[in-house]
Structure 1
């Protein structure tokens, strides 16, 4: 990501475009020769009240039966398997409500424990964008530091700062664009660590190996990993953390 932002966004580094290649897939889960086409079965619409737990249960049972799955004669019993259900956060909440309401039943199929909710990528992005807004923009205490997010927003969208700090928020599209644009600028700007500016770095005529080496260093030092929550600085009180 560091390399791609630098090469695509900074004119002095456009000549490295041929070096970018394709995005690397790390830890590919399934070899190409083992990939099989997924069979898709279109289902007819069902009319059930989504505002009640029983209505959601009836809808799920109907969809499963349309797919030929269930615990009645003539359908395939999948008691020993799981069913992945994709959807938004509300879908996941309803599935969890169904499972909680059936927890005292004596049959796993009646308890619906075979249903595994999998959040869609788009809805995951929406949830992340909303979390960033609630943490870094909505609280009034998040606007007291010159390096905070709202001050970066003021640089690229000076007329929208009131929208981003309002109670209703900016909405997903604006928030997503801000995360994307400020993230790109921050990643590009971070690569001039040894020079006064990116222009000065370009004048020094760096090689592609230099760009790659720096990108790995930035990723190791600036991207949160699984140990981030254990970091001593992250565990400090907010006042001391801001001083650091």
Structure 2
């Protein structure tokens, strides 16, 4: 359907395309240094390799998620259950439903799922955790989706790849009227939470489907790579 194609396009645009753009930026930077006979650091090549690996991971996840391209409010719980049960994760994941919840808006449900998936991917890449918990429940003002790990905690300064993922999640949260909060619990690890109010703003469709310029913070995260 047209709606499914738009969601697939958005998924490619917001994930894989950004990693490939970052690879192009880094490769161009290395090429300019070679042209000007400047020293090339091993770390520069390692960053490119890491970004390519991230793009490959995104491609595998995208392929696995094709049948989840049209997550709606009715299918959110099943999609989250499938997410935590995937065998590709190196860190065990589980799902906790802390209290009854109800989400009517299909767009909000779709973005919540993708925020959860991005947070799980980040935790697997960076947290060095033994366990990841995806939780969905209620607060006094609305619905709360959280992803918590027991890993190394939230660094003072995010590395570039990690920061890009958080910018994407924040962009998704704000686009549905929510608020993203990232913190390090006292017991350690990292908690990423999206707070979604009961009264959602009127969600506007993107012009021409999903085509929309990258937010400034995402562009800044990409340019910081070079």
Higher relative contact order (CA 8 A, sep 6+): 2
The structure in which a higher percent of residues are helix is 1
Which TM-score tier does this pair reach, normalised by the shorter chain? under 0.3
TM-score of the aligned structures, taking structure 2 as reference length: 0.25
